[in-house]
Amino acid sequence: RSRQCRVAESKEGQGPWEGGARRSGPRRQGRGAPNQFAAAARSFAMAGKAHRARKAGAKAKKKKDKKLKKHEQQVSGDGGSSLATSSGGRVKKILTKEQQRINNPKAFGVKSSLRARQNRARQADREQKRLHVPVLDKTPDEPPPMVVLVHGPPGVGKSTVIKSLVKHYARQNISDTKGPISVISGKSRRITLIECPKTLTGMIDASKVADLVLLVIDGNFGFEMETFEFLNLLQVHGFPKVMGVLTHLDMYKSKDRLKKVKKGLKARFWNEIYEGAKLFYFSGLINGKYPKREVL
């Protein structure tokens, strides 16, 4: 039958398959089966999974607090109270399970006396073991080098003194004296030569680390202001050993004049440091260095 005939019969109250009009056969049965499965799948998809309410987490806690607050409002509205009275007559606030869990006074208490005694014994054993462990001696075999600071005003010959000392100990010639220079002065002794910087902060730092200070003084000019300032810094930051070195003594042609100058500079040097302080005389430059007999 055509589609128009089937629609007309359905309007009249008779279905298209009533009165034996439906044709049975494998073709008709094959068409009906997929339609049934599709309908079942659509109904299942529309239904979906059952909703599971949250029982833990921020959202569940928020809902629980809201419900508890609403309950307290209802109780207070009915004339009741969320406060309970103990047997002693004191007012006691009713805590929720969450508040009881947080404010548990037994949370950090001793659960087992045997376990607590074992822990104390173990801690005591560990402490005694630590006390009996031998301490390793990490002191090096060779002591650290002695820091020798060479100080003086500009132009007095600090670099020349350092070069002469390096030549004496290391048998080597150096052209630059910037930075610390370490040389071996014996089987188990080293010295580090440092030229004192010109800045005030550098002089303060150098005075703190120096073990021996060589004050280089121009014998032709005498003591200068830089020398006295550095002596004051040494007195403030721990006075180390101080030795004096007189240079430019070959400028004097007269022996009497040279002797008189040496005597006056030594007296002033002893007055500033202490009586009996060592004062050396360097003179006679050869190839930019002092002779070996002067350095010795």
- 82-119 burial by CB neighbour count: b if 16+ within 10 A, else e? eeeeeeeeeeeeeeeeeeeeeeeeeeeeeeeeeeeeee
Q: Let me know: does 149 contact 206? Beta carbons within 8 Å.
A: yes
Q: What is the pTM of this model?
A: 0.51
**Residue 65: how many CB atoms within 10 A of its CB?**
12
Structural domain spans, the chain: 146-295
Q: Which CATH superfamily is domain 146-295 in?
A: P-loop containing nucleotide triphosphate hydrolases (3.40.50.300)
* CA dihedral sign, ordered 130, 132, 133, 135: positive
Q: Which pLDDT does position 204 carry in this prediction?
A: 92
CB 243 within 8 A of CB 211: no
Per-residue buried b or exposed e for 151-178, using 16+ beta carbons within 10 Å of the residue's own CB: bbbeebbbbbbbbbbbbbbeeeeeeebe
Per-residue confidence of the chain (296 residues) as pLDDT tens digits?
455 555 455 555 554 444 444 554 445 444 555 566 666 666 655 666 677 887 888 888 888 888 888 888 887 765 444 455 545 555 566 777 777 777 777 777 778 889 999 999 999 999 998 888 777 777 777 888 999 999 999 888 888 889 888 888 888 888 888 889 999 888 888 999 999 998 899 999 999 999 999 999 988 888 888 888 999 999 888 888 999 998 888 888 888 888 898 889 899 999 888 888 888 888 777 777 777 667 76
